[in-house]
Structure 1
């Protein structure tokens, strides 16, 4: 089985939402979830039921179960965006489930909200933002005198749940995996992204993506969370 992901950028609120995605399964299986730096709201419909959770950043590749005949829809938040009252630092490598009422509405922050669709996610995001539940603190903004490097690093980790180094490493390896999947050879990727050598790249792929360079090109039937392209400076 192979999960095929459809995804798109959002038309509005690009400062708090990176993009949305959807996919569906046919048979029960497992998938590899690559490490990533952001939180995601994930909606799963299976056997007539809706399940909703907020997944935190993931610091390593993991294997996750995939139920049969399920539809998945996700909202990937931008780095540093927080869904109150769930600080990102508290859900690194974890998740928070949200109750769903009998009428199919989602309980977030003590109120119930109409479940979004892939097509109307902007309206859902706008309502959460206007209610003060979906926010993106400016990582560099601190009151008083200019902060020390240690203070900036501490605030960065408090907001994102990760260190700047971890963010850079995860973004870089996702970019590397995307380049390899698209057919570039390992030497080009090593040079473009600043890895020391092939061994350095291979180690990062095993830890953060759960695939080898060869596997990214040949595992056509392997299911994994879709890779995404980062900007020219990963971690920025």
Structure 2
């Protein structure tokens, strides 16, 4: 199995990153947990697909078969599609997809390229298919809200389907995996990221990343795209 992927940052406040990937052969890939949702396009054996995928609260196994290419727009916390329910651990596939277009919110849209994904997002925003609650993004990244704690909890849950605590646990595990993959010792990761101890780190990695610290240090194998999350532009 050969899996190639890359991602880039975005200057849109609605977008966390844009990524693309290519796979060939047959293998089981580990899909790591993520606290964001995304719009994904992929070609599988000559057929195009499009889907809105919600946050994933645990690592899972995904079967890869044959050759495929994919493109994804990962949205910033607080960006939502009001016409869809919060798709935690689930997805909503487009009802009609061609080589160049897909249907979302009852309308047809062009499938974007890696370099112009923001143009599609801007159109979706103008047409009301996408909206954003900037408070959610702010509090996720440690900002102080000017509303009460219960209001914050409701708005975070409404936008993401997750609690603030769940988002932070997922993001911390993702950062831990990157640090371990970069050669940092597990005990140093524990201290840097605020885990209680190494068993606490181990449980978090197993649940959200599907790998042990040792495996991540040796080379994680076939995994979904794992990148360092940062506050999007304009936040």
TM-score normalised according to structure 1 size? 0.88
What residue is the counterpart of 1:77 in the other structure? Answer: 75
What is the CA-CA distance between 1:65 and the residue it aligns to?
1.8
User: In the aligned structure 1, how far is the partner of 2:230 from the partner of 2:97?
Assistant: 39
Preserved contact between residue 28 and residue 66 of structure 1 (Cα < 8 Å): yes
Aligned length: 224
| Secondary structure in 2 matching 1:3 | strand
Q: Deviation string for 1:181-227 (max 9, x for gaps)?
A: 1111111111110011111100100001000011112245x211122
Preserved contact between residue 50 and residue 100 of structure 1 (Cα < 8 Å): no
Q: 1:63 aligns with which of 45, 57, 61?
A: 61
Preserved contact between residue 2 and residue 24 of structure 2 (Cα < 8 Å): no
Q: Does 1:176 align with 2:172?
A: no
Q: Which runs of 4+ in 1 moved over 3 A?
A: 101-104, 138-141
User: In the aligned structure 2, how far is the partner of 1:86 from the partner of 1:151?
Assistant: 21
| Secondary structure in 2 matching 1:4 | strand
Preserved contact between residue 45 and residue 66 of structure 2 (Cα < 8 Å): no
TM-score normalised according to structure 2 size? 0.88
CA RMSD of aligned residues (A): 2.0
What is the CA-CA distance between 1:87 and the residue it aligns to?
3.2
Preserved contact between residue 45 and residue 68 of structure 2 (Cα < 8 Å): yes
What residue is the counterpart of 1:6 in the other structure? Answer: 6
Unaligned 5+ segments in structure 1 are: none
Preserved contact between residue 2 and residue 25 of structure 2 (Cα < 8 Å): no
Preserved contact between residue 139 and residue 159 of structure 1 (Cα < 8 Å): no
Q: Does 1:94 align with 2:90?
A: yes
User: In the aligned structure 2, how far is the partner of 1:76 from the partner of 1:185?
Assistant: 30
What residue is the counterpart of 2:31 in the other structure? Answer: 33
